[in-house]
Chain A
Amino acid sequence: MTTTPTPSRPPVPGPPQDTSPTFVGMPTFHRAARAALDDTQQRRNLHHATRTIRDKRSRAVAELPHWEELRRAGAAAKDEALDHLADYLIRLEERLTAGGATVHWARDAAEANRIVLDIVRAKEAEEVVKVKSMVTQEIELNEALEAAGVNAWETDLAELIVQLGHDRPSHILVPAIHRNRREIRDIFQREMAAVGRPAPKDLTDEPSRLAEAARLHLREKFLRARVGVSGANFAIADTGSLVVVESEGNGRMCLTLPETLISVVGIEKVLPSWDDLGALLQLLPRSSTGERMNPYTTIWSGVHEGDGPQEVHVVLLDNGRTHVLGDRLGRQALRCIRCSACLNVCPVYERTGGHAYGSVYPGPIGAVLNPQLRGTESDIDRSLPWASSLCGACYDACPVGIDIPELLVELRSRVAGDRGRTAESVAMAATTWLFSDPRRLTAAQRATGVAGRLVGDRTIRSVPGLGAWTNARDLPNPPPESFRTWWARERGGGTREGSGR
């Protein structure tokens, strides 16, 4: 199932998004990954965390005998919305407006940030409280607000850890997955006092104590906040409803207590109809946190008189999404509901962590989404399609059936096509040459055997002639003797070695 761009492709789908300032000049994935692999603490944290969540997810999914049918229903609803996105966006806008919300449209990150900032300024607010949201990270809204003198407080526990640690998120669901409890306690003790209520003096690294510290630190911010900022997990076209799923209650606080609520929503978040939630509100929590249902889900449809924010804004954002939509094969990546199941099952992500992907969207979905959203101009985006062993676990885990391996292969061939002969194609050609003649293989094996003895127990990171291959893959140390040499010695005489039979 290959697709080559056909001449009849639409002339002007949207432009790719600009690489955000944070990630400009990111090295290639495999260079960034090497540094991450050297961080043994992080590897331990990630191994523990991904294994835990994988097991939880498996149990939650196994409870539902009709999981596959649910997946198909979820994918079908997203496909219907994406195939007819203009119609559903217009319907959504009508319903939102009828419900009393104000709808804004933003072509790119800069325009979205400007819209949000203008609203915040009109309310004369000096701070906003934020629900965890991937899209506001994507557009770097916090940075834009802070540059304008507005404090943006992250209120999700993991986001708070990342923000206080002057760090970057490394996972879609658990942005501080690379931190363990002791590191978190240190960050809270060091940083909380500068931005609000300090951490308790006797704070331990017990998760319940850390959660309590976050509760106390953030409560004063929730109680005084006048503007809340969120994303949305789903935007329902036929009812004009936005949905936010969460666990801690920080979302409810931000969506309920402020007078003004601004929600930034990627245009791919649209669902055709209310009833589609029947499948998606099962698929998302079980895939994401491995729970039957997440603790809290808030659904609102514009302004509700006497309940919650009385001024409700929705910013519908493109920022490269129409660029992805214009690609018939790549379009399916826009089904993504940001559950992060693909990260947790990925052998590459488990070892490198999220930072190496150079985007707020890490893991397998990031490896396909970033080069599609941003184009393949930068080193990092050109290398991401190779951040995978193509084992297929991500496709099996995806609750909306995105064929990530297929997209990766397609993107590889596009990047390769861009550049003519790629490093890997050269390496594979060299490998073919080596394996096609036993004499060459024997000579190469002897050479690495000798090299192995020379390097002792150090890992081999470069083999002459296989540079591009070993660039991204460490070879295990070769044994002192190859099987072929051993066979010749032990079974001597009738050696076929080098006979080129």
Chain B
Amino acid sequence: MTARDEILARVRAATADVETTAGAWAPLTVPEVAASRADTVGTFAENVADYRAEVVRVPTSESATAIIEALKRHEAATAVVPAGLPEDWLAAATAAARVVIDDGGLTAPELDRVDAVVTAAALGIATTGTIVLDHRADQGRRAITLVPDIHVCLVRSGQLVHDVPEAVRRLRPEDDARPLTWISGPSATSDIELERVEGVHGPRTLVVVLVDEDGDAV
């Protein structure tokens, strides 16, 4: 008997007492916090900052400026960007740093010599201060948002959801399943005496540019 058949036979024997059938259950509904749009945007900004990411909240018209300022503030001389980054954001990055557009060919050691990365995001979650990348063309493959030490990530207020279950529903992988990266603050560890230290292997600086599409940035 193959290992597969044997394990499945053991599982069936072990669950022979179960009388229901798979899928006949009704998953318990997970309560979700409902909130107004403004509340969602505010909570998101607050929670992202609470995990020591930098949050810059700007109207759409100022998103390019925010990119330039973030790259300059962190003294990024070089930056990699995904091939699908919107034109004005690419232009902004180019104004601040020497930019490489990722064509998929950069090796990990090459990426290690780049200071920063500028990307869009797929979604943001307010209650947890999380940005989620689904690595489409405006975010690029996973390696480019991992190896450089500074990540400037732009998320539009219209991409925010309030709570985790709604984010999960929206991100369900379909047939063209994409990998997902959920990011809540910069890389961190609590492995030494349970004291949180920001900055281990992932980008040590995370700048979240929250693009307020209603243009009513505070």
**Chain A residues with a Cβ under 8 A of chain B:** 8-14, 45, 48-49, 52-53, 56, 66, 69-70, 72-73, 76-77, 80, 82-90, 99, 104-107, 111, 155-158, 161, 174, 176-177, 180-181, 184, 207-208, 210-212, 214-215, 218-219, 222-223, 239-241, 247-250, 252-253, 256-257, 267, 272-279, 281-282, 289, 291-302, 304, 306-308, 316, 318, 322-323, 325-326, 328
Contacts and interface: CB of A to CB of B under 8 A. Distances in A.
A157 B12 CA distance: 40
A105 B191 contact: no
Contact of B200 (A177, A249, A306): A249
Given A157-B191, A208-B197, A248-B201, A273 B27 contact: yes
Contact of B188 (A11, A248, A277): A248
A295 B14 contact: no
16 contacts: A13-B10, A48-B194, A53-B190, A87-B23, A88-B22, A184-B192, A207-B193, A207-B195, A208-B199, A219-B112, A239-B172, A249-B202, A292-B184, A295-B187, A307-B141, A322-B14
Given A77-B27, A208-B197, A219-B201, A325 B192 contact: no
Contacts, number: 280
Contacts of A222: 108, 201
Contacts of B178: 304
Interface string B91-113: 00000000000001000110010
A-B interface, 6 closest residue pairs, ranked by CB to CB distance from nearest: A249-B202, A278-B165, A84-B22, A249-B201, A326-B14, A13-B14
A326 B15 CA distance: 6
Interface centre among A180, A249, A323 (most CB of B within 10 A): A249
A86 B197 CA distance: 42
A235 B109 CA distance: 31
Contact of B193 (A45, A273, A292, A307): A45
Contacts of A90: 8
B35 interface: no
A107 B2 CA distance: 10
A223 B8 contact: no
B29 interface: yes
A222 B202 CA distance: 12
Taking chain B's interface residues, is the majority helix, strand, or loop, or is none over half, making it mixed? Answer: loop
B28 interface: yes
Contacts of B112: 219, 223
A111 B10 contact: no
Nearest to A51: B194
B47 interface: yes
Given A12-B13, A85-B15, A272-B23, A296 B187 contact: yes
Q: How big is chain B's contact interface, by range?
A: 35 or more
A252 B31 contact: no
Interface string B11-29: 1111111101111010111
A49 B190 CA distance: 10
Contacts of B127: 292
Interface stretch (B71-79, B128-136, B207-215): B128-136
A295 B191 contact: no
Contact of B129 (A214, A293, A304): A293
A69 B30 contact: yes
B200 A304 contact: no
B164 A174 contact: no
Contact of B191 (A161, A298, A308): A161
B55 interface: no
B38 interface: no
A298 B18 CA distance: 33
Contact of B184 (A56, A156, A293, A304): A293
B187 A249 contact: yes
Contacts of A223: 108-109, 112
A289 B146 contact: no
B193 A181 contact: yes
Given A10-B13, A87-B22, 12 more contacts: A70-B31, A84-B15, A104-B3, A222-B108, A252-B146, A252-B202, A274-B173, A293-B125, A295-B185, A300-B179, A301-B177, A302-B177
A112 B13 CA distance: 22
B165 A248 contact: no
Contact of B128 (A105, A256, A275, A292): A292
Interface string B35-54: 00000000000010001000
